[in-house]
Structure 1
Amino acid sequence: MAKFYKCARKHGNRKTRGKGFTLAELLIVVAIIAVLVAISIPIFTSQLHKARVATDWANLRAYYAEIQADFISTGKYNKKVPYEDKQGSTGFDAFGLKEITFLNGQKVKMQEGRFWVSEDNKQGYSILYDCEKYIADHENHGNACELILGSTSH
């Protein structure tokens, strides 16, 4: 056994002597990693934007369901809901709202956009949501992150 160990050890030393990565090989590996990172960053940020918009949409759908159910049960527009009415503004910001305040007082901040609430022809509410990228450059961004809940005729 001892003889085999010495032989294997000697053989292993001979094999590894003078071996390793050269500077050129390391630079090539670093360059490949840099290219992969440069390709993946825009894809990652795009997916992050979509995830934030999806979160905003989910929160707005829950909010819309709550305020619409309140309207159906009472037949009146709730004063806690900041909506644009025909006579003027009721807590309405021309630049849109950045925070949802549910009827129970819970507040949720929008992550990627703004929304507007308006009357829906005495049938409840309508909500319009646009992401910040759409607001800033709607011609080039397209309406992929626009959401309309309720009637589309305002």
Structure 2
Amino acid sequence: MKFILKIFPWKRTINVSIAVIAVLIVFNFYGLYTNTFYLLKPNNYIFPLLSLSHITFLYVLWFKIKEDELTDPQMRNIEYILYAVFGVYVFKTIESLVILTSYSNFENHIIPASFIPMGILIFVLHLFLLGLTLLAIKYRRDMVGAYVFDDMNQQIDSWE
């Protein structure tokens, strides 16, 4: 674990997470079977909208670490939303693996040559995003602190 923490300190974790999310948003519109981009399918816009909460969490994490602030109820709520988004990330990872392994089901069809390389790239990026999300949550726990709101001074709304 210490090896991963040395390779991905908190700043690099945030920056790489944002880059991976941006690449996956683009690939979310890509159709592996047809090698085309589908911009008019409403289902393709779910992942980008949900990933906005992840980017918000990363910004709040960066701000809290940079300013050496403690947690607040708003950060807690954003992290709870991130847990639900993490479930969507798990679903998208499994979905990309199922699509990738369905290659042999379509032997009689014309499948683009980019199917396997792009499928592997998208699957690895989804796995990478899962790991980076867990690492960001770990950095929140280690560097910002736990969600303890018993102290009166911590009930101050720091976002106003």
TM-score (norm 1): 0.31
More helix by share: 2
Structure of greater relative contact order (alpha carbons < 8 Å, 6+ residues apart)? 2
TM-score (norm 2): 0.30
